[in-house]
A and B are shown apart, each in its own frame.
Chain A
């Protein structure tokens, strides 16, 4: 088992943002996570990636506990994420935004040795995402779509990426970029067994890429199954699909 979330709960003041959430992912798997706004999807991503520590429950990556660990330590073990509202290092160039991931992974002592490898990977990703023309611009100067692509690409710089949590990677993205994103995901899944937890409302995309989908409602996992099973479930239609 790559990721195991067991009975995780998180409360913000009077609000139970996640309640008793359990979830398991295998290497190379693509798991969808859907649910209405405010259901706790982003909170779950934050718990898995160490931004918050859960109030109760445990999270394991390859059998080892990661709940309560710092995000940088979790990232080091191959678990990365993107943010729903794209976050980049605005004053670093697009290329530097990519390089930082690999240097953070290998550490400063090994950075000089990794340099050629890092530059090669960055050049490759910049080309794949067609960001090579803007590679030297500060990230804040990029368009929204380019920024989202760059944020996603930065994770693939990690040499030991095992699980990539993507928080609404397609929201507000031009369809041309969507295809590029899907190619990237599939490439890294096929060639190095990267698994994904994808939070998204894009049902058509979810149907194409996800092995299984989990539905989250009011902080709890309500149902898990193939997208066909889920869209057929009347309770889900009532609680969620009916609303959009």
Chain B
């Protein structure tokens, strides 16, 4: 309960930010919140359940293009487009979950990667429908592109995603997920219906990502296949690993660090992914608990060195 109160206070405090912050900072934070949802989704799937999917960005794209296309071609209201986006993402997540059910880590990674690249390429190739790299124009959610109201929307999305992950992690479902990650055969043997749990997590996280992608479409207003770019999953994985894979707080710690770093590095060209990769390798070798854990260990080692 204390954690929830603390989180709510943080959300309320952040909600007042548009009164003082400039638009470019608000934009950076809005994108950070978007990534918090995606990273939370991947963390639930890979970090907690051990299903190392490489298709999280694809579900954001599925959500984004579902609402973008239905609003553009069918002239449905935006809220209907977003609802359709969630429904389609849930369905695609369910189907993909069923297809990769029996696959072990590396095969699952390869299969989800193949799925991700197929969708990515198709979005560009079907330019008659999607307008490919030219971009599909999607009506902004609030009429204008002024970031303040979008900031609030993505703040709420990030808070809801985090709350979902937090409640799951504390529930018996969370134990089942971590049990499956630790030892799937034993999980089955003690009576956990691993098939149901895995499909459920696939479906839930896909819906969650699709929802974020749909709102993202109505924020960027020009939707291109970039949303499904493979570099996105690289960024997501970096965020979760920097924050401490498998912990609820990982995206909250990792997303701001990585997003800020990415913004700082962007003026030097495409170096960001290389640097992220280096960070991931160092962290994986030293501390799977993420940057906080690594810092804590370094401190205690320094302290030890001082006393001896």
Residue from the list A83, A108, A154 in contact with B172, Cβ < 8 A? A108
Contact of B176 among A87, A91, A103, A154 (CB under 8 A): A103
A96 / chain B contacts, CB cutoff of 8 Å = 175
Q: Which of B185, B194, B246 contacts A51 (CB 8 A)?
A: B185
Least CB distance from A224 to B in Å reads: 26
- Residues of chain A within 8 A (CB-CB) of B176 are 100, 103-104, 108
Given contacts A83-B186, A111-B172, contact A92 B193 (CB under 8 A): no
Flag if A92 contacts B179 (CB, 8 Å): yes
A75 on interface, CB distance cutoff 8 Å: yes
Q: A207: CB under 8 A from chain B? A: no
A88 is an interface residue with CB less than 8 A from chain B? yes
B182–A92 touching, CB < 8 Å: yes
B178: chain A residues at CB < 8 Å are 89, 91-92
Q: Is A30 an interface residue (CB 8 A)?
A: no
The smallest beta-carbon distance between B74 and chain A, in angstroms, is 38
**Neighbouring B residues of A40 by C-beta, 8 Å:** none
Q: Which of A49, A71, A100, A154 lies in contact with B175, CB distance below 8 A?
A: A100
- CB atoms of B188 and A70 under 8 A apart: yes
* B179 contact set on A, CB distance < 8 A: 89, 92, 100
A93-108 contacts to B, CB under 8 A, are 96, 99-101, 103-105, 108
Query: Could you tell me if B189 and A51 are in contact, using CB atoms closer than 8 angstroms?
Result: yes
Chain B: minimal CB distance from A198 (Å)? 17
Interface string of B138-180 (1 = CB under 8 A from A): 0000000000000000000000000000000001110110110
Q: Please, which residues of chain A bring their CB within 8 A of the CB of B182?
A: 88-92
Query: What's the least CB distance linking A50 to chain B, in Å?
Result: 8
Find the residue from B182, B186, B191, B193 having the highest chain A CB count within 10 A. Answer: B191
Interface size class of B (residues with CB under 8 A): 20 to 34
| Chain B residues, Cβ within 8 Å of A100 | 172, 175-176, 179, 187, 190, 192
Give the complex CA separation of A83 and B188 in angstroms.
Answer: 13
Interface check B183, CB cutoff 8 A: yes
Asked if A76 lies at the interface with its beta carbon under 8 angstroms from chain B, I say yes
Which residues on the B side are within 8 Å of A80 (C-beta)? 189-191
Q: Which of A102-130 contact B (CB under 8 A)?
A: 103-105, 108, 111
Report the separation of the CA atoms of residues A72 and B185 in the bound assembly, to the nearest whole angstrom: 10
What is the bound-complex CA distance between A50 and B186, given in angstroms?
Answer: 12
A41 CB–B CB distance under 8 Å: no
Decide: A108 near B190, CB < 8 A? Known: A87-B183, A91-B178: no
Known A103-B172, A108-B172, A111-B172; contact A49-B183, beta-carbon cutoff 8 A: no
What A residues does B194 contact at CB under 8 A?
72
Does residue A31 face the partner (Cβ distance < 8 Å to B)? no
CA distance A87 to B189 in the complex (A): 10
Q: Which residues from chain B contact A108 at a C-beta distance below 8 Å?
A: 171-173, 176
- Please report the C-alpha to C-alpha distance between residue A90 and residue B179 in the assembled complex, in whole angstroms: 8
A148 to chain B minimum Cβ distance, whole angstroms, is 14
Listed in ascending order, the chain B residues whose CB lies under 8 Å from chain A are 171-173, 175-176, 178-179, 181-183, 185-195, 246
Instruction: Give me the interface of A with B, judged by CB distance under 8 Å.
Output: 49-51, 70-72, 75-76, 80-81, 83, 87-92, 96, 99-101, 103-105, 108, 111, 154-155, 158
8 CB-based A-B contacts, threshold 8 Å: A51-B185, A71-B189, A87-B186, A90-B182, A91-B246, A99-B172, A100-B172, A101-B190
